[in-house]
Amino acid sequence: MLTSRANHFARLLFFKTAMTTQEKQKILAALQIGQLAEAEQLARFQLKHQQGDEDVLFLLALSLQQQQKFQEALPVYAELARLFPGSSLHVGNHATALRDAGALEEAEETYRVSLRLDPTNTEQMLNLGMLQLQQHHFVEARETLLDAFAIEPQTASIRIHAARACAACRDDQRVDELLRPWRSWLPLEPEEQFELATLQLMLGDANSVQALLEDLLMRAPSHLQAQLLLASVYERINKLDLAEAKLKEIEVGQHASDDTVRIEIAHQRASLAVRKGDIAAARTWLERAGPRNPDDYTHYFMLAGACDKLGDLPGALRALESAHALQTKEMRVVVPDRFTADTPVIPTAVGRVTAQDYGAWPTLSAPDASHSPVFIVGFPRSGTTLLEQMLDAHPKLQSMDERPFFNVLVDRLDNHEFQFPRDMHKLDQRDCDELRKAYVSMVCTKVPRRWDTQLVDKNPLNMLWLPMIHRLFPKAKIILALRHPCDVLLSNYMQNFRSTVLAMACESLPQLARAYVAAMECWLDHVEVFKPDVFVSRYEELVADTVGQTRKIAEFLGLEDASAMLNFDQHARDKGYIATPSYTQVIVPVNRKGLDRWVRYREALAPALPILQPMLDHWGYSVGTPA
């Protein structure tokens, strides 16, 4: 049902004060103590004597709905809406009954009628928005629920469901803003707390998710979805024994034979098998279970990974083709404007600051290198996470899971008709000071800042935001992670990205090659203009000579001792949750498994190679000739 149990009892409290007859009070009392069949019987008897009585009809409908007798409740709610057509409450309840009965399009139109009667009825906005989510009308749901939020910005349930709609649209920054006060809402109704936990996991706050779910299960131990999610979270934070124990607990429960539960358990079993190195078992789990639903592209990404590790290249490519087709189908719903013919593959890479433009920038004061973040950039899957974990292991450095802070800063400027990067010359000293303050403030919301350390900001595609980085932190040290472009393409093609830009770039290998070249050309153009302090870290060299390369990185950053960086894998394991696709790779020592993987896929990569050739030449990488 769309309306919450709390809302039902709020209505009952209203009717308790409004109903004066003893017969109505008996029906109400039966509902309040959960004797739903008794309430239904009493209401039907009363209607024999008081046909068309608003209160009794409502109590009958509510008793039927709570018994999940949706087809029987529907005509009663319809009768109430017919008798009282000016009541937003009754029309909205009729819409909910239609939705419960599966008449979704009629339900949507009826909710709109209810809102025309009362445009500020946030409960009906909430119901409409959730119905739109069910229909996969994600953009419309976001608009509806944000309208409700604008009317009642303090209501936790509205903020949570609006965040859910924003998450469906991959608008993670808005999700973060909506959920920021979440600690003040606790405890929540079980379903809302579960939804909050799901959203927090998407944002990367796994420790909070664990606490939310464990608290929920203390109050509602039979909440099956919370149990399943908690098992998944245990695996993500490297508590594999707890994950295994939780799955066993679910398997012996009364719902273990349910197909949905069985399939989810199989997928989690597959994840655990991968962690244990039993890839064949993981593939078996996945193939026996099949996808969770017709749109489950995550299943195919997992299956592709297992096939790849087992050396079944055709199987991996088939699974990836299915995964990207389904993901692209979703993107067409979520970001339809990105599918126009003239949309660039990497929109942020289009704009350029020329040397002439840069000469028009005013001279401003800014922090020196020691008081600026260290930036790790590079096309995704180039080794940025490995570098981040190495630096974070050093006691004088502190990193955080990657966040799109510069995207957010530029979005704020866009509200003032600022065009990036064309209008960079308009930023004066006050503007830059305020932007730096906003940057630090955002950092502090994501990581407990240790002020005796230097911040490490790892976000691969910050390479596209070099004009803003240079404007705010012109003396900053920047590490560019570089890896054989073919290995980068293959690794990206195998990833399930939340970022709409990356998900769409990975639709095909030629498309991905164009994205790589566009991003790299943007970076190289701006490096030529700004001449920032950059250290190029080649993944191949870092793997081949970890001690020597970490020493060079330490010297570049002005650190005397690089030895702590060599213990990055233990440091990463101690951290628990790492919000990156490579979370299972950075908790083990450096190895050569990621080198030259692309060679096995040379035939599949062939259409992308001519597109990549300029960057292969620039960075000195070869594709050789087939053996």
Of 201, 228, 252, the residue that ends a domain is: 201
Residues 458-469: tens digit of each pLDDT: 999 999 999 999
In a domain, 244, yes or no: no
pLDDT of residue 1: 37
Contact call for residues 166 and 142 (beta carbons, < 8 A): yes
> Are 43 and 168 within one domain?
yes
Mean pLDDT in residue range 123-137 = 94
Q: Look at residue 574 in the predicted model and tell me its pLDDT.
A: 64
Using alpha carbons only, give the angle 577, 299, 243 rounded to the nearest 5 degrees. 40
CA distance 613 to 321: 24
Residue 221 placed within a domain: no
Predicted local distance difference test score (pLDDT) of residue 17: 43
Q: Is residue 226 part of a domain?
A: no
Q: What is the mean pLDDT of residues 241-269?
A: 89
pLDDT, residue 609, reads 96
Whether 321 and 392 share a structural domain: no
Q: 205 pLDDT band (50/70/90 cuts)?
A: confident
On whether residue 539 sits in a domain, the answer given is yes
pLDDT of residue 593: 72
Predicted confidence (pLDDT) at residue 320 exceeds the cutoff of 80:
yes
Which pLDDT tens digit goes with each residue over 393-424? Answer: 999 999 987 888 998 899 888 767 889 999 99
Is residue 616 included in any domain, yes or no? no
Task: Identify the three-state secondary structure at position 496.
Answer: coil
Distance CA 272, CA 462 (A): 33
Mean pLDDT lowest for which of 275-284, 342-351, 518-527?
A: 342-351
pLDDT classification of 573: cutoffs 50, 70, 90: low
CA 599 to chain centre: 32
Q: What percent of the chain has pLDDT over 90?
A: 71
Q: Summarize the confidence of residues 131-153 as an average pLDDT.
A: 95
Q: Write the pLDDT tens digit of every residue in 2-11.
A: 444 334 444 5
Domains of the chain: total:
3
Do residue 190 and residue 97 come from a single domain? Answer: yes
Predicted pLDDT of residue 337: 84
Task: For residues 368-389, give the mean pLDDT.
Answer: 94
pLDDT score at 14: 46
Share of the chain above pLDDT 70, in %: 92
Compute the average pLDDT of residues 541-548.
92
- Is residue 247 a part of any domain in this protein? no
pLDDT value of position 366: 96
Read off the pLDDT of each residue in 186-211 and give the average, rounded to a whole number. Answer: 93
Q: Same domain for 331 and 351? A: no
At 273, which CATH number? 1.25.40.10
Q: How confident is the model at residue 447 (pLDDT cuts 50, 70, 90)?
A: confident
User: What was the pLDDT predicted at 571?
Assistant: 64
pLDDT for residue 627: 44
Q: What is the DSSP letter of 506?
A: T
Helix/strand/coil (H/E/C) assignment for every residue in 385-411: HHHHHHHHCCCCEEECCCCCHHHHHHH
User: Do residues 519 and 346 touch, judged by C-beta distance below 8 A?
Assistant: yes
358 and 302 share one domain = no
- In this structure, the answer to whether residues 446 and 496 fall within a common structural domain is yes
Inside any domain, residue 429: yes
In this structure, the answer to whether residues 131 and 267 fall within a common structural domain is: no
Dihedral over Cα of 503, 507, 511, 517: its sign: positive
Q: Do 299 and 435 fall into the same domain?
A: no
**Partners of 399 in the β-ladder:** 456
Candidate from 8-22, 136-150, 209-223 with smallest mean pLDDT: 8-22
| Mean pLDDT, residues 222-245 taken together | 94
527-543 burial, b if ≥16 CB within 10 A, otherwise e?
bebbebebbebbbbebb
Q: 196 and 139, same structural domain? A: yes
Same domain, 503 and 465: yes
Same domain, 319 and 453: no
Tell whether 288 and 403 lie within a shared domain: no
Q: Which domain holds residue 592?
A: 347-607
Q: Which of 185, 201, 217 is the last residue of a domain?
A: 201
Task: Assess if residue 243 is contained within a domain.
Answer: no
Give the pLDDT of residue 580. Answer: 56
* pLDDT recorded at residue 13: 41
Q: CATH number of the domain that 524 lies in? A: 3.40.50.300
Mean pLDDT of the chain, nearest integer: 90
pLDDT tens digit string along 100-109?
889 999 999 9
Asked if pLDDT for residue 533 goes beyond 50, the answer is yes
